[in-house]
Homo-oligomer: A and B are copies of this chain.
Amino acid sequence: MDKVEQVANGLRELLNKKSLLNNFKMKDSLKGFKSSEVHCIEYIGENVDSNVTKLAESFYMTRSATSKITQKLMKKGMIESYQKSDNEKKIYFRLTEEGEAIYKIHYDLHKEFQERDKTVFEQVTDEQFEMILDLVEKYSKHLDDEIKKLGVALTNRNDFE
Interface of A with B (CB < 8 Å)? Answer: 2-4, 6-7, 10-11, 13-24, 26-27, 34-35, 38-39, 60, 110, 114, 116-117, 119-121, 123-124, 126, 128-129, 131-133, 135-140, 142-144, 146-147, 150, 152, 154, 156-161
Contact = CB atoms under 8 A, between A and B. Distances in A.
Contacts of A15: 15
For chain A, what secondary structure do more than half of its interface residues adopt (helix, strand, loop), or is it mixed? helix
A161 to B, nearest CB: 6
Given A152-B24, A156-B24, A161-B39, A10 B140 contact: yes
Given A21-B146, A132-B132, A139 B117 contact: yes
B133 A120 contact: no
A18 B143 contact: yes
A22 B132 contact: no
A124 B133 contact: no
B7 A143 contact: no
Contacts of A160: 19, 22-23, 26, 35, 38
Contacts of A138: 120, 123
A157 B34 CA distance: 11
